[in-house]
Amino acid sequence: MAIQTKPIPALYTVYILRSTVRHASLYIGSTPNPPRRLSQHNGTARGGAAKTSRNSLRPWQMVGLISGFPSMVAALKFEWALTNPHLSVHIPSDSRLSRSTQVKANGQPRRPSKSMVSILSNVHLLLRVPSFARWPLKLHFFVPEVYAAWQKWCATAAVPLRPSLKVVTDFGGAQTSEGELDDYSPAKESESSDGSEQTKPWGIHALPLDYEPIKDYVAKAQGIFEFEREGDCVVCHRAIESGEGLHAVCTNGGCDGVGHLSCWSRHFMPSQGLDNILPIQGWCPKCHGEIQWSDMMKELTLRLRGKKEVDKLLKTKKRRAPNKVKAKV
């Protein structure tokens, strides 16, 4: 079996690109590095997309993106579904919004043309379909009118998004972000009211491309596991054997609650096994702080599979680490 060898990426997004020249030209893509990708689209860097290579449509701008995908595969799935809403099987037929009416020469259904409204509506839809519903995603908007369109659509949508799915905006100006910010992503949106758009990076440029936001968390966890301070599982209260299994650490600042992974999931979702597998958020039994499952998993996978990233993040060399830590990490 293929073993996942990479940790949860620090950032993987699916973005909506719009031509500044012609607002009707839209493009959907995915990237772990939005600024770089944008420069590629605009021709500044090599490797842009063919559809965005037309000079008459450049420069492009990212008007919105969905972040928080736990893997590249997940992002690609979502991107495809968003690009092909008329085909995606993730969308139930009855709730399908985009339907193809024509057929191409090769027999395939023709894709209905994109519009901002259609994209937004499909985003709204995809965020609700069972296939993606429980993903730790977050929606960002960088252009006011797009955000307005989104809100307009949401108002008309029959089913709202789940509350835990955050929608944040960053218009670069003095804007307030809606929704709550995670504790560990303070820099995601610049809520700065100074209005200095030029000097301070905003929008996609303000997105953290690495694990910096969770650095403290990671460091904390490193400390715990390096010294084997796990203690007992905060859920089942049984001893945690170091290096024997997957143990997650509470995300909250001062709490060092460690628990078995399955215990955590059971704790977050008591009815697990019948309803859902994936938790979304829960409360730490130790510090009673709110924990986002994705954050905890991010750290866990980092510790488990991203040793290099951890080292780079913490800028520590683990050569001195005892063998046991290495086995664990």
Partner 1 sequence: MRVAPQWLTRLNVPETCSPPTTKLLPTTILRPGVRWFCGLRRSPPTRSKMASGGLLFSSPARVRTARDESIVIISSSPEFPSIHDLLAKPAKKIALRSGSNAAPIPVHAIRTFTTAADLFRFSRVEGESLPDVHNTAIRRSPSPVRPTAKVVIELSPTVATATTLSGANPKRRQEVTTRRKKKDESSLETKRPAPVLGSAPTNAPVVPGEPPGKKSRPSKTIAGGQTVLLKGKVTKPAAREKAPRKRSEIVSKHFNPQPPPTKSTPKSGIEDEPLALEPAMRRRTDWTPPPSATPTCIPSSPTNQLYSPAAPGLQADKASQSGGFKNLHDTYGRKEERQLGETAGAPVTNDVLGKRKLVEMVSFTTDKSMTMQPSPTKPKAPKKKPRTITDLATAAYRVVEESDRPPSAEKSKQSSLLGYIGAGSAKTAVANRQPGKNTKLSKKPAKPRVSKKKAGPVTQVLLSPTSALSQVAKQDFVFGTASQLATEEDPELLRALHEAMKASNQPDGDPFARSPSPVRSDVAARKKAANKLWAAGARGENGSLVDIEFVDLTDSPALPRRRTFEAKSPKSPRKSPSSRAGKTQKAQKTQKKQSPKPHTRRPSSGSAAVDLSVSPPPMSHFFYTQDSSGDLWNIASEPLPEKPFGGIEPISIVDLDFDPPPSNQEHNQLLEHSQPKSTSKDQPDGPTRPKFELFTDAKLAKEVASYGFKAIKKRAAMIELLDRCWSSKNKTSLASELAEPGLSPTRPRGRPRKGSSAAAVPATGLPVAEAKRRGRPRKDVTVSSVKASKSKATAAAELIPTAPPSAAPVVSAPKRHKVVGPPLGLEIADSESEKEEDDDPFASSPMSLPDEQRMFSSPPDVDISIDEEADMSLLADTPTGQQKLLFRYISKAVTTAPRATDPENPSWHEKMLMYDPVILEDLTTWLNLGQLDRVGFDGEVAPGDVKRWCESKSICCLWRVNLHGQERKRF
**Of residues 9 and 29, the one with the C-beta less far from partner 1:** 9
Peptide bond into 285 cis (omega under 30): no
State both tokens at 25: 């030209």
**Of residues 13 and 42, the one with the C-beta less far from partner 1:** 13
Least distance from C-beta 1 to partner 1, angstroms?
Answer: 4
Least distance from C-beta 43 to partner 1, angstroms?
Answer: 28
Least distance from C-beta 143 to partner 1, angstroms?
Answer: 29
- Return residues touching partner 1 (CB under 8 A): 1-6, 8, 70-74, 77, 87-93, 96, 99-100, 103, 107-109, 129-136, 243-246, 260-262, 264-265, 272-274, 276-279, 293-294, 297, 300-301, 304, 328
Q: Could you tell me which of 32, 170, 27 has the C-alpha nearest to residue 41? A: 27
Least distance from C-beta 281 to partner 1, angstroms?
Answer: 13
Taken in order 75, 78, 82, 87, is the CA torsion positive or negative? positive
- Residue 192 CB-density burial (10 A; 0-12 exposed, 13-18 middle, 19+ buried): middle
Q: Which residue has the tokens 């060898």?
A: 5
Least distance from C-beta 238 to partner 1, angstroms?
Answer: 11
**Of residues 93 and 113, the one with the C-beta less far from partner 1:** 93
**Of residues 118 and 151, the one with the C-beta less far from partner 1:** 118
State both tokens at 311: 């080292």
**Of residues 198 and 323, the one with the C-beta less far from partner 1:** 323
**Of residues 157 and 261, the one with the C-beta less far from partner 1:** 261
Residues near 164 by Cβ (< 8 Å), separated by ≥ 6? 280, 281
**232 DSSP β-pair partners:** 239
Residue type, 213: P
Least distance from C-beta 274 to partner 1, angstroms?
Answer: 6
Residues near 224 by Cβ (< 8 Å), separated by ≥ 6? 230, 249, 256, 258
**Of residues 4 and 44, the one with the C-beta less far from partner 1:** 4
In the chain, which ranges are continuous DSSP H helix? Answer: 34-41, 72-83, 116-126, 144-156, 215-226, 261-268, 293-305, 307-314, 323-328
Least distance from C-beta 327 to partner 1, angstroms?
Answer: 8
